[in-house]
Amino acid sequence: MFRVDLFSLTSAGAYLLLVFITLAAAPRKDLVDSRQKWQLWWVGPGTLLAYSAGSPWVFLAGWIISVVPLCLDTATGRASRLVLASSSVPLALAFAAPASPAAFLLLVLAAAMRKGIFPFHFWIPKAFEAGPLPVLNLFLNGHLGAFLLIRFAAPMFPEPAREYLSVLGVFATVTSVLGALTALGTRQPRRILALLCGSQAAMILAGLENANAQGVTGALLHWWVVAFSTSALLAVYRALEARSTETAALNGFLGFGFHAPRLAVFFAIAAAALVGVPGTLGFAAEDLLFHGSLDSHPLFGVGLPLATAFNAVTAFNLFARLFLGRRGIHVPRIADALPRERWALTMSTAVLVAGGVFPHVFAALRAPAANEIAALLTGR
């Protein structure tokens, strides 16, 4: 019923740290909101239950528990709620059906719906427009779609996986590039952050399709990069949003870095890691991911770096608009990072920087699962 190994332990451990970072950095108004409190109590434990699952039905239970809060929250939008609620249907049908290519495709469909892979990519920006950012952060960064493919889809259906995962890789690459291009022309910060999260997270599924351990290891490391980077970005933005009403419109440059330099530094480091700047875990992850993708599928090896380049431009532009470009006398006075916010964001930054200094340590934690997936996809 339950299965505990290095992959599940490291995934659960990283997720628990994300939960702590998210709760510690969240504004007080979010933590005392009764709606968000019960949502967090469902998303977190549901994700952890899915990580510990050895049985498909236990995993399905964790999947449903984690998705219920967003399905019941009108702030996430009707279209988003419909996609998320519907994602449980193909998952249940696949687990109930006999082993066949059709069952495997149902699992892929469930993963694509939850991860926001084209043509279901629209639900993430819609949910971010007015949805609770701490809850959405923990929901998205559970990456249960990727976990489903690794723990159940590929081991249960190795032959269909070898045949059809490349199709998912194509759709994931399209999602990544499309999201990056859309973000370039977007002005609303919440939508920009949603598109950045979705675009970079899609690379995880694209990397899992690689038939070599190098590319799969890069995808699994990129899982952590996306999780810790986007958690920090969303925490910093939510802190600014709680301090000032100017963030919603983002007309011109706000110059918040004058009064909140610590928040600016945390945002900059997280953005740099997300797009693979050297010295961060993102660089090591994307290096492995891109080289592995080039060996398996040149389309992925070209499309993913292109999306990352676009996202780097978007991330810098958002940083500049939030923190630069206005004289201090014209910037409304806001509080810099509070002590609890500093501790939380420092933890996220420490993971990203330590991964850049000691990438072999982080790669060793993901290597066994990567080797197993690569062996399944090559038939060895």
pLDDT at 380: 60
Tokens 């399944």 belong to residue: 376
pLDDT at 310: 96
Nearest CA to 224 out of 148, 285, 268 is that of 285
Q: Is residue 1 part of a domain?
A: no
Query: 366: domain range?
Result: 6-378
From first CA to last CA, the distance across the chain in angstroms is 27
pLDDT digits (tens), the chain, 380 positions: 888 888 999 999 999 999 999 999 999 888 888 888 889 889 999 999 999 998 999 999 999 999 999 999 888 989 999 999 999 999 999 998 877 788 999 999 999 999 999 999 999 999 999 899 999 999 999 999 999 999 998 888 888 888 888 888 889 999 999 999 999 988 899 999 999 999 999 999 888 877 788 889 999 999 999 999 999 999 999 999 998 888 877 777 888 888 899 999 999 999 999 999 999 999 999 999 888 877 777 777 788 889 999 999 999 999 999 999 877 667 788 888 899 999 999 999 999 999 999 999 999 999 888 888 888 877 66
Please answer whether residues 268 and 275 qualify as being in contact, where contact means their C-beta atoms are separated by less than 8 angstroms.
no
pLDDT at 347: 96
Q: Is residue 124 part of a domain?
A: yes
Q: Is residue 216 part of a domain?
A: yes
Q: Which residues pair with 2 in a beta bridge?
A: 53
pLDDT at 84: 94
Q: Is residue 321 part of a domain?
A: yes
How far is it, in rounded angstroms, from Cα 1 to Cα 23? Answer: 30
Q: Is residue 42 part of a domain?
A: yes
pLDDT at 227: 96
Nearest CA to 203 out of 184, 229, 185 is that of 229
Nearest CA to 191 out of 271, 122, 263 is that of 122
Q: Is residue 312 part of a domain?
A: yes
Q: Is residue 134 part of a domain?
A: yes
pLDDT at 2: 85
Instruction: Provide the domain count of the chain.
Output: 1
